[in-house]
Amino acid sequence: NILAVAIDEQQNELSTRRRKLSDELSTTQVKLLTTRATREQYQALLTDDPMTSVQPGVTDSGVVLKLKELYIDQYTKLVEMRGKYLDKHPALEAQETRLAQVRADLRREAAQSMKGVEAAHQALLRQEKDLKVALDSATRDSLALEQRNIEYNRLKRNFDRLNKVGEQVGSRERETALAGHMKMNNIRVLDAALVPQVPKEPNVPKAVGVAVALALLVGLGLAFLLELADSTVRSQEDMERLLGVPLLPIVVEQTA
């Protein structure tokens, strides 16, 4: 399940995507703060005295800003007239009527502008939600890719190790095969071999001489042993030697 795109490139792409989504989410949240503040200002114009919210909002329309200025001007005039006239004075009542009309116009424009601000605020809320979902998805993809990268690095280390062992075995096999084809010999011819004229073995004269010598020795030994073992009296000297006395008579053997 390997893709054509390298893991590093996928990680860079996911990192760039997450960074862009995070920047867009931050921008959207800033806009939400702005629209929320503007909506609160419009809400103040609709429910409270416009003098309590005389600061123009960030996204106020030109009509609302002019009506704010007109209301402040008419309100200032009313305050001045109250210092000059008593209650129920026609001029004072006319000024109060003009001020009320400006306030009504201001609230009507504020309500109309508030609809646009509320629509923009809701759109920003939906955009914020979508950006969070997209950012979470990109984060999950990044974590899953990191897990695959860890597994890939483990498999790659095993592959590199086995590949190195295979290269070593192949190199040793090639060296062995090359050594078998090479004729490495440090022997040189000193003298030419000569064909013998007579066989080296068996050496007949030597064997005969040894056999004769052994036969003589064996014969002499046997004769000596027989001589020692023979107790036959054969002569006068034998009798004298055995008896230890001189022999006086002479025995003459006669043969028939």
Q: Give the relative orientation of helices 90-181 and 7-47 as an angle to the nearest 10 degrees.
A: 170
Percent of the chain with pLDDT over 90: 11
Residue 189, phi-psi category: left (phi > 0), alpha (psi -120 to 50), beta (remainder): beta
pLDDT for position 141? 87
Mean pLDDT of 210-227: 87
Highest mean predicted confidence (pLDDT) among 99-108, 186-195, 206-215:
206-215
- The tokens describing 69, both together, are 């200025």
Report the C-alpha gap between 1 and 4 in whole angstroms: 10
pLDDT for position 3? 55
Query: Which of 41-45, 52-56, 173-177, 192-196 shows the lowest per-residue confidence on average (mean pLDDT)?
Result: 52-56
Model confidence at 222: pLDDT above 70: yes
Model confidence at 201: pLDDT above 70: yes
192 CB neighbour count, 10 Å cutoff: 5
pLDDT for position 129? 92
Query: Which of 40-49, 107-116, 220-229 shows the lowest per-residue confidence on average (mean pLDDT)?
Result: 40-49
Report the C-alpha gap between 111 and 42 in whole angstroms: 7
Mean pLDDT of 95-107: 82
pLDDT for position 248? 67
Q: What does the chain look like in DSSP terms, one character per residue?
A: ---SS-HHHHHHHHHHHHHHHHHHHHHHHHHHHHHHHHHHHHHHHHHS-GGGG-SPPTT--HHHHHHHHHHHHHHHHHHHHHTTS-TT-HHHHHHHHHHHHHHHHHHHHHHHHHHHHHHHHHHHHHHHHHHHHHHHHHHHHHHHHHHHHHHHHHHHHHHHHHHHHHHHHHHHHHHHHHHHHS--------S-----SS-SS--HHHHHHHHHHHHHHHHHHHHHHHHHH-----SHHHHHHHHSS---S-------
- The tokens describing 195, both together, are 């064909």
pLDDT for position 99? 82
Q: Of 81 and 242, which is predicted with more confidence?
A: 81
Q: Give per-residue pLDDT as tens, 116-152.
A: 888 888 898 999 999 999 999 988 888 888 888 888 8
Q: Of 242 and 249, which is predicted with more confidence?
A: 242
Report the C-alpha gap between 141 and 10 in whole angstroms: 10
Mean pLDDT of 94-122: 82
pTM of the model: 0.47
Model confidence at 158: pLDDT above 90: yes
